[in-house]
Amino acid sequence: MLFRYGSAVTGKFFYDRSDIQKKISSLLVGGQSFMLKAPRRYGKTSLLKNVLQTKKFDYFYADFRKTPRLELFNNKLLEYLYSKMGIKGALKQLQENAVSFLLTHKTTVKVTLPLFEASVELFGGAVMKEDERMVQILDLIEQTAKELDETFYIVLDEFQDVKKLSGVETADILEMMRGTMQQHENVCYMFAGSHMTLMTEIFENRKSPFFNFCRKFVLDGFDIDELKQELVKAFKSKEIVFESDELLLNLLHKLKGHPANTMLVMQLLESLITEEDIKLISDLLIQKAYDEAREEMNDLISEYIKEIKTKEHLHDVIYRMASGERQILDANSLRQKRAYLIDMGYIRRKERGVYEIIDGFLEDNLLMI
Ligand SMILES: Nc1ncnc2c1ncn2[C@@H]1O[C@H](COP(=O)(O)OP(=O)(O)OP(=O)(O)O)[C@@H](O)[C@H]1O
Ligand SMILES: [Mg+2]
């Protein structure tokens, strides 16, 4: 199989993105923290994981969308800290008996004894608020990195959801995080998120603690020319060719460089051609793969439309975008509706005054009335 669809992809299943990979790669080498925002299913997680793996950097990864409580994040961080100190499965041992944990590992641990002892003292039973515990763990991670003379890499995915964690007692967890992270010279933080507006609010609003904290990137769709060449090459490795380059190019344009949708169509194309035991991809086959992909995405698209309908006028605004009809709302209301649609990840601003629907399948679906 040449293509993967669903969760994050790396290695041979990772396509395109050479420019941003280079940029990120040099930031990682310099230990420079950064944030990456992009709509859902655009390949943020894949990009970060792939660059880190390509550089063979070991890293910590947490996804705040999937994490219900701060305590769980802290425990994961702690496990990572101890793994860097050379201890596997530390948390369980620590919870069972902190003293014997200390005795068992004090001679083999990779850091100096005072640092190891400080870590155990902090977590061997002391009652502490989870947000304070987070700060302490992050500081210990920095100290460990410093002692080991290494850069540590920490990926905080869907970072905008950090405020939704339960167990956060401090009014501004962001303030607390920034306070500690800004002092860290040996940890490279990577923040990713799909909620465009919240990410902008966190990293670009002057009043936010993370304002000017790090470099910022917006991940666009695939670069169609680069991707086209790679796809031709991938199919060729199985002796499969397109009837014409133009066919592939048109398809990629129709998919608008949407990474997940594009990969789904490619995978279906590969299955169809294998099933039919042929080597030439025709226009008809492309049409079939595209329709199958859209069919497969139907439930998700219905969910999208349901969500769009939860706010007044949004459905008609986006419908008019799809059909090319003139918008009828006054300028202020239209601005507000577009802002909602951007927040929800359905449209994006291409340039001043020009917006486009991100997902081609959604666009098709809107027009099927
Ligand atoms: N560079 C890439 N090469 C090949 N496929 C990709 C790439 N980026 C994304 N994809 C496709 O998109 C799917 C989703 O990618 P990924 O999970 O990395 O996106 P995401 O932006 O992190 O999504 P979410 O917002 O849901 O977390 C992948 O399973 C894959 O099919
Ligand atoms: Mg992701």
pLDDT at residue number 125: 56
- Beta bridge partners of residue 218, listed in sequence order: 37
- Dist. CA 236 → ligand 1 center (Å): 23
What mean pLDDT is predicted for residues 76-105?
Answer: 95
Q: 118 exposed, middle or buried (CB, 10 Å; 0-12, 13-18, 19+)?
A: middle
pLDDT score at 350: 87
Q: Does the pLDDT at position 239 exceed 70?
A: yes
Q: Whose CA is nearest to atom 19 of ligand 1?
A: 43
pLDDT for position 124: 57
Q: Which ligand is nearest to the CA of 4?
A: 1
Q: Which of 238, 169, 185 minimizes the C-alpha distance to 2? A: 238
Mean pLDDT, residues 277-303 taken together: 96
Q: What's the whole-number mean pLDDT along residues 153-161?
A: 97
Buried b (16+ CB within 10 A) or exposed e, 214-251: beebebbbbbbeebbebbeebbeeeebebeeeeebeeb
| pLDDT value at residue 126 | 60
The more confident residue out of 172 and 366 is: 366
Confidence of residue 172 (pLDDT cuts 50, 70, 90): confident
Nearest C-alpha neighbor of 59 from the set 187, 152, 144: 152
Quick one: what percent of the chain has pLDDT higher than 90? 88
Atom of ligand 1 nearest to the CA of 49: 18
Q: How far is ligand 2, taken at its centre, from the CA of residue 340, in Å?
A: 21
- Using the structure block, give the residue that is written with the tokens 């997940």: 260
User: pLDDT by residue (tens digit) across 94-127?
Assistant: 989 989 999 999 999 999 999 999 999 887 556 7
Region 193-215 average pLDDT: 93
Test site for ligand 1: of 5, 9, 224, 261, most ligand atoms within 8 A of the Cβ:
9
In whole angstroms, give the CA distance from residue 365 to residue 357.
Answer: 12
pLDDT attached to residue 128: 84
Pairing state between β 354-357 and 347-351: antiparallel
Nearest CA to 63 among 161, 152, 130? 161
Q: What is the pTM of this model?
A: 0.94
**Integer Cα distance of 266 and 243 in angstroms:** 15
Element (H, E) at 297: none
The partner residues of 63 in beta bridges, in order of sequence, read: 157
| pLDDT value for 273 | 95
Confidence at residue 85, expressed as pLDDT on a 0 to 100 scale: 98
User: In 3D, which of 261, 251, 156 has the Cα closest to residue 213?
Assistant: 156
16 Cβ below 6 A of ligand 1:
yes
What is the rounded CA–CA span in Å between residue 50 and residue 276?
A: 33
| Average pLDDT of the residues in 195-209 | 91
Q: Which atom of ligand 1 is nearest to the CA of 263?
A: 31
Nearest protein CA to atom 23 of ligand 1, as residue: 41
For the chain, how far is it from start to end, CA to CA, in angstroms?
36
Give the number of other CB atoms < 10 A from CB of residue 156: 21
With a pLDDT cut of 70, the percent of the chain lying above it is 99
- 20-40: average pLDDT: 96
Identify the pLDDT of residue 43: 97
Residue 269 has pLDDT above 90, yes or no: yes
State if residue 193 touches ligand 1 by the CB under 6 angstroms criterion: no
How far does residue 262's CA lie from ligand 2's centre (Å)? Answer: 16
Res. 343 pLDDT band, cuts 50 70 90: confident
Give me the DSSP letters along 146-176: HHHT--EEEEEETGGGGGG-BT--STTHHHH
The answer to whether the CB of 358 falls within 8 A of the CB of 318 is no
Q: What is the pLDDT of residue 366?
A: 96
pLDDT digits (tens, 9 = 90+) for 349-360: 888 989 999 999
